[in-house]
């Protein structure tokens, strides 16, 4: 490994450590979520090979960035709850459902990938919980913005 690779790897490790520390998230929660993200990514790749879909580097990079963005959503929620400096009990009431939604979405995707590996049929997973919550937030924002004008 040359010097540049070591610098890049160490920079990523320092950045993740900084995010973990500053977000106030438990290390075990983040590691469990990263494990789910990685497992879902790998089983998704295996499922794509099983159903003979095109596995291109572009598609893999986009999938990796999508999983990385989900991780940043987790960090963003952690920063938000830390910024608002709410009572710790209120913070847990706010944070736990979002964490549950993110974890459930990954589990549903993982189950769909395992189903595809076993049957050879791609199940178009719809993460109903995530879609419902994001749709609700969008409708709420639209409603609030209409009331302000």
Q: CA-CA distance, 91 to 84, in Å (whole number)? A: 9
Average pLDDT, stretch 135-139?
66
Encode pLDDT of 73-88 as tens digits: 888 888 877 777 666 6
User: Is the per-residue pLDDT at 39 higher than 90?
Assistant: yes
Encode pLDDT of 42-69 as tens digits: 998 999 899 888 888 888 888 888 888 8
- Residue 60: burial class (beta carbons within 10 Å; 0-12, 13-18, 19+): middle
| pLDDT, position 138 | 65
Average pLDDT, stretch 137-149?
66
Q: CA-CA distance, 115 to 133, in Å (whole number)? A: 25
């Amino acid at each position: 490994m040359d010097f540049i690779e070591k610098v890049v790897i160490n920079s990523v490790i320092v950045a993740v450590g900084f995010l973990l520390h500053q977000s106030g998230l438990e290390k075990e929660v983040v590691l469990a979520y990263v494990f789910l993200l990685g497992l879902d990514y790998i089983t998704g790749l295996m499922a794509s090979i099983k159903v003979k879909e095109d596995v291109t580097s572009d598609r893999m990079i986009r999938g990796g960035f999508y999983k990385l963005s989900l991780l940043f959503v987790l960090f963003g929620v952690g920063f938000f709850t830390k910024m608002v400096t709410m009572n710790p009990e209120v913070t847990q009431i706010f944070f736990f459902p979002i964490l549950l939604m993110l974890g459930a979405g990954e589990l549903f995707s993982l189950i769909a990938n395992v189903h595809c590996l076993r049957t050879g049929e791609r199940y178009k997973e719809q993460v109903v919980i995530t879609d419902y919550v994001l749709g609700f937030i969008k409708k709420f924002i639209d409603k609030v913005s209409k009331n302000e004008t």
